[in-house]
């Protein structure tokens, strides 16, 4: 697994293993959801201050095409919207070799303000 950071932008690269495949020998949904969440959390930490607590409000995914076995997948997670209480990311999963878009995900995080006790 390889992660490279940029300001309000995240790039994640991973090669599929045997355990991440489903019956059709493409990326399993749980691996896709975990990857989308990892990329969006890492990206959120570049935008939202560390003292603010985040929680995942929504994660929606679309399967456009299957990734073949031993394919290297790159996930790109730019910020769609960032406000005081809400941050939204659109994560795109592409094959590194061809650049073909195979999965998309959209994550919405709610920012919890620091309590002032």
Phi, psi of 52 (to 5 degrees): -85, 135
- Measured CA distances, 37 to 12, 76, 116, 117 (Å): 11, 12, 29, 31
CA distance 11 to 3: 6
CATH domain 2-112 topology? Thiol Ester Dehydrase; Chain A (3.10.129)
pLDDT of residue 15: 63
Domain boundaries, the chain: 2-112
The predicted model scores a pTM of 0.74
Phi, psi of 97 (to 5 degrees): -65, -45
CB contact set of 14 (below 8 Å; sequence gap of 6+) = 1, 2, 35, 72, 73, 75
pLDDT of residue 114: 62
The answer to whether 73 and 94 are in contact (CB under 8 A) is yes
Q: Kindly give the confidence (pLDDT) of every residue in the chain, 117 residues in length, as a single tens digit, with 9 standing for 90 and above.
A: 445 555 444 555 566 565 666 777 776 777 778 878 888 888 888 888 888 888 889 999 998 887 776 777 788 888 899 888 899 989 888 888 899 998 899 999 998 766 655
Q: Which residue has the tokens 């620091």?
A: 114
């Amino acid at each position: 697994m390889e992660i490279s950071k940029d300001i309000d932008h995240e790039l994640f690269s991973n090669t599929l293993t045997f355990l991440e495949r489903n019956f059709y020998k493409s990326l399993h949904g749980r691996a896709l959801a975990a990857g989308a969440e990892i990329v969006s959390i890492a990206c959120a930490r570049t935008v939202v201050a560390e003292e603010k607590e985040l929680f995942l409000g929504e994660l929606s995914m679309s399967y456009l095409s299957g990734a073949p076995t031993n394919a290297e997948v790159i996930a790109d997670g730019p910020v769609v919207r960032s406000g005081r209480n809400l941050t939204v990311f659109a994560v795109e999963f592409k094959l590194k070799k061809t650049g073909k878009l195979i999965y998309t995900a959209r994550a919405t995080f709610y920012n919890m303000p620091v309590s002032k006790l």
